[in-house]
Amino acid sequence: MLYKEIFWMACDSTETLRAEYGPFHTRGEAEAEAHRLGFHYLLRYEHLLDEHEEIQEVRCIFVELPGAGVESDTSFSLHTRCATCGEAATHEKTWQAEVWADIHEFEHSRHRVRLFEHARGKGLKEIAGWRAH
């Protein structure tokens, strides 16, 4: 007998190289986070598990949120991510990203934080050399 496990992700596009955030247990949680991040899509994962809880099949379903067709070239957000441990955060201003990176790198010696710009509909783009070390 197969058991279906469902979880939701917020994502910025339907492309192969997309930003995903989650997982969430409900669509409502994922949708709220997608709106907060400026993402226009949800991704519903369905795992079909056997009696030993081994994945037998994976289904992915994209859900486009209302307003996804309205793009603004000036709308973007900043994302920091530690290249060492993977911890990440979202920021509205460059100085917020700088402060987050300073704190993270102070608390975790030898960690390095990278900065990405997320333009709606265009995905993430790394901003190289954003900090002089």
Residue 101: HSE in the Cβ half-sphere, 13 Å Cα cutoff: 22
* For the chain, domain boundaries: 3-64, 76-126
Mean pLDDT of 6-13: 92
Cα–Cα nearest to 36, from 45, 51, 24, 46: 24
pLDDT in tens, 72-115: 445 678 899 999 998 999 888 888 888 999 999 999 989 999 99
